[in-house]
């Protein structure tokens, strides 16, 4: 096996392992089409014949609108667009990365890894792979990239996500029972995000923690496409009890945050921003109430974008990245089906 320069990898000079890795650039991409909650509710009522209370979706979720991917726009499309923006922000080209991680709950196909589709479109030649862990996929992908850089396995990584959960929304429920079973899906919107992760001299990703409660894996998800339900449109819609899911997160979700603050010797005043995965506005408000995070630290996107799955934290980061000063810290809080909770402390270099 030879590199693009024609030299065998065995002839490469070993690189000293870096002491820190961090996020050095970010990009995001939103689909052009906007769908309001009121229009979505009218569509559901029209197809199902259900008599729904006026503005039910908007009032129950706090979501006014969301972006939806048009026909011919895929998870990889959104990831590629975000990746190009992140590379441009870093003044890098596709061949400057040697690790490409597609980290998303959505994907283009079951096989091969969507990372290869992204890579083919970008024109990069990196080691490419997928990471999937529901709405925590993107943060997991960043953590994996950091680990590979610190171990010397990679020099510079591009972590991307493209989320199209709007395609798992049941717009024609057969009855009220089916409507309630798929209600959590009506929060979904589409988006893409990307970050460049590489060695840094100071700051970077300072701390990562996780907590997993897999006994709750059946609370919500999309059951189709795997070996349990390889076929059948009925399995391609999001199914889950939103109230039960919220209850599980409320029960177990603050422990890892408390542990992170204690271990790192920080409190909310030490963070310029707190980026938390956003499902609904009431859920975000409940998160702030339970954890005590000041509302001004949050970057609120859910009313205009809905629940964009693993792209949520990436989109928020893109909105504040340029305004952060060197040395300022940001806390990421990921919440994912399964159930998993994840924290990451990052300091801008």
Please identify every residue annotated as catalytic: 135, 277, 307
User: How many CB atoms neighbour CB 268 within 10 A?
Assistant: 14
Residues 6+ apart with CB under 8 A from 322: none
Query: How far apart are the C-alpha atoms of 137 and 140, rounded to whole Å?
Result: 5
Query: How far apart are the C-alpha atoms of 52 and 41, rounded to whole Å?
Result: 8
Query: How far apart are the C-alpha atoms of 298 and 341, rounded to whole Å?
Result: 18
C-alpha distances in Å from residue 330, one per residue of 117, 218, 301, 344:
31, 32, 17, 8
Query: How far apart are the C-alpha atoms of 165 and 11, rounded to whole Å?
Result: 45
* Residue 56 φ/ψ region, left for φ over 0, alpha for ψ in the -120 to 50 degree band, beta for the rest: alpha
Query: How far apart are the C-alpha atoms of 200 and 214, rounded to whole Å?
Result: 34
Q: What is the DSSP string of 218-238?
A: TSEE--TTSSSS-S-GGGSS-
Query: How far apart are the C-alpha atoms of 263 and 230, rounded to whole Å?
Result: 44
Based on C-alpha coordinates, what's the Rg of the chain? 20
Strands 220-221 and 239-240: antiparallel
Query: How far apart are the C-alpha atoms of 213 and 236, rounded to whole Å?
Result: 24
């Amino acid at each position: 096996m030879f590199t693009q320069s024609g030299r065998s990898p065995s002839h490469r000079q070993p690189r000293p392992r870096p002491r820190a890795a961090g996020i050095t650039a970010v990009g995001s991409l939103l689909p052009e089409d906007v769908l309001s909650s009121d229009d979505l509710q009218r569509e559901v009522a029209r197809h199902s014949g259900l008599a729904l209370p006026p503005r039910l979706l908007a009032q129950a979720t706090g979501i006014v609108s969301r972006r939806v991917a048009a026909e011919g726009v895929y998870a990889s499309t959104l990831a590629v667009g975000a990746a190009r923006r992140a590379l441009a922000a870093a003044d890098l080209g596709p061949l400057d990365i040697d690790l490409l991680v597609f980290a998303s709950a959505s994907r283009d196909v079951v096989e091969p890894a969507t990372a290869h589709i992204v890579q083919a479109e970008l024109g990069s030649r990196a080691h490419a792979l997928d990471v999937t862990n529901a709405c925590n996929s993107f943060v997991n992908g960043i953590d994996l990239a950091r680990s590979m850089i610190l171990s010397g396995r990679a020099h510079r990584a591009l972590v991307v996500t493209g989320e199209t959960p709007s395609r798992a929304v049941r717009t024609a429920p057969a009855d009220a029972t089916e409507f309630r079973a798929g209600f959590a899906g009506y929060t979904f919107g589409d988006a893409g995000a990307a970050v460049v992760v590489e060695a840094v001299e100071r700051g970077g990703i300072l701390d990562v923690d996780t907590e997993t409660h897999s006994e709750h894996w059946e609370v919500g998800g999309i059951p189709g496409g795997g070996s349990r339900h390889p076929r059948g449109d009925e399995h391609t819609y999001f199914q889950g009890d939103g109230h039960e899911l919220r209850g599980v997160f409320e029960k177990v979700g603050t422990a890892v945050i408390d542990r992170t603050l204690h271990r790192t010797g920080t409190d909310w005043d030490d963070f310029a921003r707190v980026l938390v995965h956003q499902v609904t506005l009431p859920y975000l408000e409940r998160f702030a109430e339970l954890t005590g995070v000041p509302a001004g630290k949050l970057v609120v996107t859910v009313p205009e974008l809905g629940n964009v799955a693993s792209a949520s934290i990436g989109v928020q980061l893109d909105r504040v990245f340029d305004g952060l000063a060197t040395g300022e810290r940001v806390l990421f809080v990921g919440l994912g089906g399964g159930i998993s909770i994840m924290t990451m402390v990052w300091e801008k270099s």
